Amino acid sequence: MLGAGDEAEDVVQEAFVKAYRHLDTFRRDAPFRPWLLRIVANETHNLTRARGRRAELTVKITGLDRPGASDPADPADPENAAVATDRRARLLDAVRTLPERERHAVVCRYFLQLSEAETAQVLDLPVGTVKSRTSRGLARLREEVDRGLD
């Protein structure tokens, strides 16, 4: 979800610090990797939420939410930047409306870019359950997007 770079490194570093601080809560009989991935996923979610709030605030401050407003950061194509921001916001809103079980699967698979096996480990579910929840979540998102186009 974050891609390579400083933000991803910050999230991983913060996750390791939190894991170290909470090592006493780790169950010794449980696999370590899913526990750590869950911490990384939570940190990524926190950063993404904060980034979304900052982006919304930036849009409001720069006036991009007004019709005909231009984006000073992208003078070549302000309309596309505004449309992309709107699409991202609508997609995140649609993801937030998913039932929690489906939302977790979709976020792990597509926002965190985990494999089905990794998602199954993080969510402590069988791979088949991850596949079905992801499929149902994507179907609901498609319906929501189709409704938004009407």
Residue ranges covered by each domain of the chain:
32-149
More confident residue, 63 or 87: 87
* Percentage of the chain lying above the pLDDT 70 cut: 76
Whole-model pTM: value is: 0.50
What is the overall mean pLDDT for the chain?
77
Q: Where are the beta strands (DSSP E) in 21-147?
A: none
Handedness of CA 51, 56, 60, 63 (dihedral sign): positive
| pLDDT one-digit tens code per residue, 101-146 | 998 898 888 887 888 988 888 888 999 999 999 999 999 988 887 7
**Amino acid 51: pLDDT:** 65
* Percentage of the chain lying above the pLDDT 90 cut: 17
**Amino acid 55: pLDDT:** 54
**Amino acid 77: pLDDT:** 67
* CATH code linked to domain 32-149: 1.10.10.10
Spatial CA neighbour of 46 closest among 100, 1, 101: 1
**Amino acid 61: pLDDT:** 46
What average pLDDT does the segment 39-57 reach?
A: 71
